[in-house]
Amino acid sequence: GAEYVCRDGSGSYGEAIRQALPEAVQVSDRWHLWSNLCGKVLAEVRSHAACWATAVNPARPGGVREQTTRERWQQVHNLLDQGVGLLECARRLDVALNTVKRYARMKEPTGDRRAPRYKPTLVDPYRDHLRTRRAEDPAVPVLQLFRDIKELGYTGSLNLLYRYITQGRAEGDKPVTTPQRFARLLLTRPENLRDKDTALLRELTEACPEMTELARVT
């Protein structure tokens, strides 16, 4: 008879195999092993985001989503501090049990930082000029910058330039690192990473002791 049986994580399959082939060794299939690993790594990265994200991501004002995250984290931890179990927390707060578990793992409240998605604008070709001018003179008026790039061929409006600058797009274009991106970097073979990704991964892992250990075991 069969000595090994490859299956997924279903308990029903496991029981059926035990009844039909009690001597067979059950092993998990490659896809489910990898999927489970990815899920666990992402959960661990998310739970320590308050540690690594503040070290590498630019500061930004908290929005409604982040405020909601902080409030929910506080509610969960208030109940846990009172000795309330995870399942009861989920019932009282009317949220999924997995949601409660995720907040329970967080040492501090944090929201997933998302990189703002901007459409290309007429200002983009002049970003380097704007960045240089503002570095030389941080107090340079927007109107003066408008005149400068008009002479260079800019055809857009003053309002468009003003929005561009107030959004911080002239200062740099470093993307915000999300937990999903961090997890992908951890799970990618080092030889398949670009140089800039390798440098980012090193910066991320060095910012948090738990992430240093996670990188070592993955």
| Average pLDDT for 117-146 | 86
Residue 88: CB partners within 8 Å, gap ≥ 6? 79
| Average pLDDT for 54-73 | 67
Question: What angle separates helix 97-105 from helix 86-93, to the nearest 10 degrees?
Answer: 120
Q: What pLDDT is recorded for position 58?
A: 58
- Residue 83: left (phi > 0), alpha (psi -120 to 50), or beta? left
Domain ranges of the chain: 61-112, 124-166
How far apart CA 170 and CA 178 sit, in angstroms, is: 22
Confidence of residue 156 (pLDDT cuts 50, 70, 90): very high
Q: What pLDDT is recorded for position 110?
A: 61
How far apart CA 55 and CA 49 sit, in angstroms, is: 10
Taking a C-beta distance cutoff of 8 angstroms, is the pair 142, 165 a contact?
yes
3-state secondary structure 19-87: HHCCCCEEEECHHHHHHHHHHHHHHHHHHCHHHHHHHHCCCCCCCHHHHHHHHHHHHHHHHHHCCCCHH
Q: Average the pLDDT over each of 36-40, 56-60, 136-140, 204-208 and give the range with the smallest value.
A: 56-60
Per this entry, what is the length of the chain? 218
Amino acid identity of residue 161, one-letter, is L
Exposure class string for 14-41: b at 16+ Cβ within 10 A, else e:
eeebeeeeeeeeeeeeeeeeeeeeeeeb
State which H helix or E strand residue 6 sits in.
Answer: strand 4-7
Tokens linked to 15: 């029981």
Report whether pLDDT(69) > 60.
yes
Tokens linked to 48: 């320590």
Up-side HSE of residue 68: CA atoms within 13 Å toward CB? 4
Q: What pLDDT is recorded for position 66?
A: 66
